[in-house]
Amino acid sequence: MAGIEHIQVEPDEAGMRLDRWFKVHFPGLGFGQLQKLMRSGQVRVDGGRVKTDARVQPGQIVRIPPLDVDSKDAKSGPIAGKDLKHAGDAELLSRMLLHEDEKVFVLNKPAGLAVQGGSGLTRHIDQMLEAWTSKKGEKPRLVHRLDRDTSGVLVIARTRGAAQKLTAAFRERDTKKTYWSLVKGVPRKHEDKISTWLVKEATADGDRMRIAKHGEEGADHAISYYRVLETAAQSLAWLEMEPYTGRTHQLRVHALHIGHPIIGDPKYFDDDPNWDFPGGVQKRLHLHARHIDIPHPNGGRLRVTAPLPPHMVQTWNLLGFDETSAEEPDDE
């Protein structure tokens, strides 16, 4: 961990947002960590307090407090497919890390990496966590999951006691999970509640959830909320979605149920010959667990936000969506 540094803004960095400037110089520094440093006045520009959206200018001096992260010379940045195949478990987990304390890790899970094992899976988070087994021999524990193709916030308990408290918070719905998605078309209602029954059925392409009749055997009640954050030419909508219940594929099925499936969903987005898939948008699931607000095992609330995955950053840039325009709760 280095001491206090003072770095001068370079000419080619003129007008760069301060949070992006930090992403370039200190890629391992999480957005939540940076916000905390800003609020406490530990990061300053030309001696003054600043916000993450401040624009830096050449010649300005940025005060950097001691940071327990590597500088830009270290291996960092978005995790690519080749990393998932070849990088070591401890390295990958460290690059995913958004928050760490004595009871909890919070990761930004990349799209394409499974949380738990299954048929044909050679690598998944649960197995990788062996690399972070404590000196007491205690392996970190999963307390919830995300679909393999969904990216974003994943909470991990470091101890048995923390796992019990966090699992109870999920079971008792004392958590608030916020997802961002891109869907086909624009919902007629700007915000709404979706309430259905879901049941799992086996198909040729594997298990799939469908809307069930009330009282159908094996069906579970599922409730989601959504609101439209921005639209693109009435053909696409950026939604903020909140699952009140935690059913398998819930948000994906609910998006389809209201007639606006999530872009790139391999299970629930059927190609429509009368609708052109947007050029430049990757056919990958555009669903990201953006933020979580959960009781911390030591008391108080833990709030963490995960940056968008590369394929969604590419889409947001293409559509002119500004992710900073959505109001973000304070982290940590």
Strands (E), the chain: 5-8, 44-45, 48-49, 61-64, 97-100, 104-109, 141-142, 151-157, 176-184, 191-203, 206-212, 220-232, 236-243, 287-295, 301-305
Say how many Å lie between the first and final Cα of the chain, rounded. 21
CA 189/CA 228 separation, integer angstroms = 8
For 126, how many CA atoms within 13 A lie in the half-sphere containing its CB? 13
| Helix residue ranges per DSSP H, the chain | 18-25, 31-39, 81-86, 89-96, 125-128, 160-171, 250-257, 310-319
| Catalytic residue flag (residue 147) | yes
Cα four-point dihedral sign 7, 12, 18, 23: negative
Torsion-angle region of 96 (φ positive above 0: left; ψ -120 to 50: alpha; else: beta): alpha
Q: Which of 147, 149, 265, 331 is catalytic?
A: 147
Residue type, 136: K
User: What is the CB neighbour count within 10 angstroms for residue 25?
Assistant: 15
Residue type, 66: P
User: What is the CB neighbour count within 10 angstroms for residue 37?
Assistant: 19
Strand-strand pairing, 220-232 and 236-243: antiparallel
**Which active-site residues does the annotation give?**
147
